[in-house]
């Protein structure tokens, strides 16, 4: 009997990734099916469905699920789910298939068929529907009205841009996944399926396991958050996104090197498990924090570390909105349908010269001028522009890796600072 938290949805891990003879047979069949091209973001979602990371999902959402998730944080059957997981198709492709048809989902970037899908429904995503999804998914306390949101969203929010650029129709139905793309080979040292991370945790005898979401290299604040989590748990799961980010963010292989050197030199190794997962960032702030907790439950994690401006971008969200949203979501009473992975809410952390160490707003009585504000955005900006990095911002070993990376860039993207990066009180 496992001591780990059960997978989300009450159905165990719903694994749609084929293996062995079944895989080879489906690959042959896929060659003769109508091919529907998919985006990198849809590829990541597909792999998560395949490995059970998105349990209990077994395919892309129908319109009733899409609408219920947008409105109520619930699938049509009443299971908690925070963000739509859909597959877009052009009008030409949608017109060429009928409900009940099987299609092959083709990844142009990797030049391979990733899955087959039985099309159970197709529905139009009008401009109005796309805007509706964006307002429900991406609009936060930083832009409290739709008018304020749309003044800047299409120019400055990468998640909004992605949804608004989706094709005209959505195709929905169950999938059979044939490939995990290059993730198992490119990130062979950290890429984990949920069944694999669960096995590691069980072998260690862990049950209280906070997950740490990372899309930036680990600076001192990240390190401090992880160590706080370890103090009150069996160990921490440092779980890095290895899918696509927005321009100017630091690629996964560099971030993994930074984590490796930190774990090697500054952690008790037996208390840390490092993993990678294949999603692209949505930058959906509070809603994405809920998604992070949902799929971390499938990976075996009992808690999700939520600090300031989790999964945020610009000034779209309140500083701790990703924490308070956990207190507002529905918790269905039917077994398995509620989110069980709980937030581990930690206040804004920083290095304080007067405290002579890492601290938070809850423990440090000093002023902003005494603190080194630790932000991934600020770090990227300083490294990109070649400006000095403040003392205590990051470990020397990490900064050496990052400087080497930035020195090798031929093109650099301008990095804009926002409230969460500068210590501006606006977002609090």
Which residue of the set 129, 131, 193, 216 is catalytic? 216
Tokens standing for residue 199: 């096995």
CB 26 within 8 Å of CB 118? no
CB 398 within 8 Å of CB 217? yes
Q: Is 215 a catalytic residue?
A: yes
Q: Rounded to a whole number, what is the distance in angstroms from the first to the last CA of the chain?
A: 44
Write out the H or E segment, with its range, that includes residue 406: helix 396-407
Strands 272-277 and 236-241: parallel
Q: Is 216 a catalytic residue?
A: yes
Nearest CA-CA partner of 344 in 394, 305, 374, 299? 305
Write out the H or E segment, with its range, that includes residue 396: helix 396-407
Angle between helices 127-138 and 285-298 (to 10 degrees): 80
Tokens standing for residue 364: 């440090």
Task: Tell me 363's DSSP state.
Answer: T
Tokens standing for residue 271: 């208390």
Q: Which residues contact 425 (CB under 8 A, 6 or more apart)?
A: 419
Write out the H or E segment, with its range, that includes residue 272: strand 272-277
Tokens standing for residue 111: 């030049």
Classify residue 324 as exposed, middle or buried by CB count within 10 Å of its CB (0-12, 13-18, 19+): middle
Q: What is the 3-state secondary structure (H, E, C) of 108-119?
A: CCCCEEEEEEEC
Which residue of the set 131, 193, 198, 215 is catalytic? 215
Strands 342-345 and 303-306: parallel
Annotated active-site positions, please?
Answer: 215-216
């Amino acid at each position: 009997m496992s001591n780990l938290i059960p997978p989300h949805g009450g159905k165990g891990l719903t694994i749609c990734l084929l293996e062995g003879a079944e895989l080879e047979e489906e690959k042959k069949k896929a060659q003769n099916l109508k091919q529907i091209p998919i985006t990198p973001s849809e590829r990541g979602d597909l792999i998560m469905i395949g490995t059970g990371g998105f349990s209990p999902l077994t395919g892309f959402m129908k319109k009733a699920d899409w609408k219920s998730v947008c409105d109520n944080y619930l699938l049509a059957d009443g299971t908690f789910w925070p963000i739509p997981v859909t597959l877009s198709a052009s009008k030409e492709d949608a017109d060429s298939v009928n409900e009940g048809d099987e299609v092959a989902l083709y990844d142009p970037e990797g030049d391979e068929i990733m899955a087959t899908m039985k099309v159970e429904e197709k529905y139009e995503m009008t401009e109005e529907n796309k805007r509706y999804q964006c307002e429900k998914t991406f609009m936060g306390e930083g832009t409290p009205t739709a008018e304020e949101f749309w003044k800047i969203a299409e120019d400055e929010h990468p998640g909004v841009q992605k949804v608004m650029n989706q094709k005209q129709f959505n195709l929905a139905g169950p999938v059979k996944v044939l490939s995990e793309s290059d993730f198992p080979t490119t990130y062979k040292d950290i890429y984990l399926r949920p069944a694999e991370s669960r096995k590691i945790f069980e072998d260690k005898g862990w049950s209280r396991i906070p997950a740490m979401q990372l899309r930036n290299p680990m600076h001192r604040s990240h390190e401090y958050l992880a160590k706080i989590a370890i103090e009150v748990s069996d160990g921490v799961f440092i779980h890095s996104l290895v899918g696509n980010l927005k321009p100017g963010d630091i690629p996964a292989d560099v971030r993994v090197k930074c984590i490796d050197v930190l774990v090697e030199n500054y952690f008790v190794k037996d208390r840390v498990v490092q993993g990678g997962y294949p999603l692209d960032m949505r930058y959906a702030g509070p809603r994405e924090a809920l998604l992070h907790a949902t799929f971390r439950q499938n990976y075996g994690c009992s808690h999700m570390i939520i600090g300031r401006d989790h999964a945020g971008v610009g000034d779209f969200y309140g500083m701790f909105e990703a924490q308070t949203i956990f207190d507002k979501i529905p918790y269905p009473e039917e077994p398995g349908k509620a989110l069980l992975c709980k937030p581990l809410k930690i206040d804004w952390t920083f290095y304080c010269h007067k405290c002579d160490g890492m601290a938070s707003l809850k423990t440090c009585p000093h002023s902003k001028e005494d603190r080194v504000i630790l932000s991934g955005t600020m770090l990227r900006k300083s490294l990109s522009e070649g400006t000095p990095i403040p003392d205590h911002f990051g470990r020397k070993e990490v900064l050496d890796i990052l400087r080497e990376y930035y020195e090798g860039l031929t093109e650099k993207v301008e990095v804009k600072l926002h409230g969460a990066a500068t210590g501006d009180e606006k977002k609090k």
